[in-house]
């Protein structure tokens, strides 16, 4: 039995998305597609900052909802805290978008950044480069962002983390219980 799943790495600037079909019998993720939502950043003195932030959050919500509605399960590396006022805006927007997904009745399985790194790259302190390399090794045929024959690390890092959320999420007790229900 195969089910559509989505992994998300939320960020106010670059929201990484990985989606594919998960074979519940073999545990293999097939037909992986990657996406990155990078909302347009408008820098205008004529428009209030809160209006610009709302526009960015709306772009993120639209993309996240479109992908999430396709899936049976969504795995998410939920952001944690912030250290500045601006980072707090980013955190709040991401949590708000995820809250909208949950309010829509979309099943969200939360994973931590440490779980994502450990599961995908094999160590809790994996670097962005190590995460990208691990994800690309698992899915060399996926639509990784390339520039000049090399992977575009600035974009791929968010996609790699989204892949990692799926890998980590399938190991959670919540997902294991869902599998039992889905298999009936």
Strands (DSSP E) found in the chain: 2-9, 15-23, 29-37, 73-77, 108-111, 146-147, 150-151
End-to-end CA distance of the chain: 11
pTM given for the model = 0.92
Contact 120, 167 (CB under 8 A): yes
Contact 114, 46 (CB under 8 A): no
| Residue-level pLDDT, tens digit, the chain, 184 residues | 899 999 999 998 899 999 999 999 888 999 999 999 988 876 767 778 778 878 888 899 999 999 999 999 999 998 877 777 777 778 888 899 999 999 999 989 999 999 999 999 999 999 999 999 999 999 999 999 988 888 888 899 999 999 999 999 999 999 999 888 877 7
Report all structural domains of the chain as residue ranges with CATH numbers, in order of start.
2-183 (3.30.420.10)
């Amino acid at each position: 039995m195969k089910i559509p799943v989505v992994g998300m790495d939320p960020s106010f600037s670059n929201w990484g998305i990985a989606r594919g079909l998960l074979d519940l019998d073999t545990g293999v993720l097939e037909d992986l597609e990657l996406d990155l939502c990078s909302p347009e950043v408008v820098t205008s003195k004529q428009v209030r900052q809160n209006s610009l932030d709302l526009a960015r959050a709306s772009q993120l919500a639209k993309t996240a909802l479109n992908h999430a509605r396709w899936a049976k399960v969504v795995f998410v590396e939920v952001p944690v805290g912030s250290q500045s006022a601006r980072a707090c805006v980013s955190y709040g927007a991401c949590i708000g978008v995820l809250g909208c997904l949950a309010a829509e009745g979309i099943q969200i399985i939360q994973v931590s950044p440490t779980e994502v790194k450990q599961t995908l790259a094999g160590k809790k302190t994996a670097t962005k480069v190590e995460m990208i390399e691990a994800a690309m090794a698992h899915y060399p045929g996926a639509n990784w962002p390339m520039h000049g024959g090399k992977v575009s690390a600035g974009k791929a890092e968010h996609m790699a983390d989204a892949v990692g959320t799926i890998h980590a999420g399938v190991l959670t007790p919540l997902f294991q219980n869902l599998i039992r229900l889905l298999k009936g």
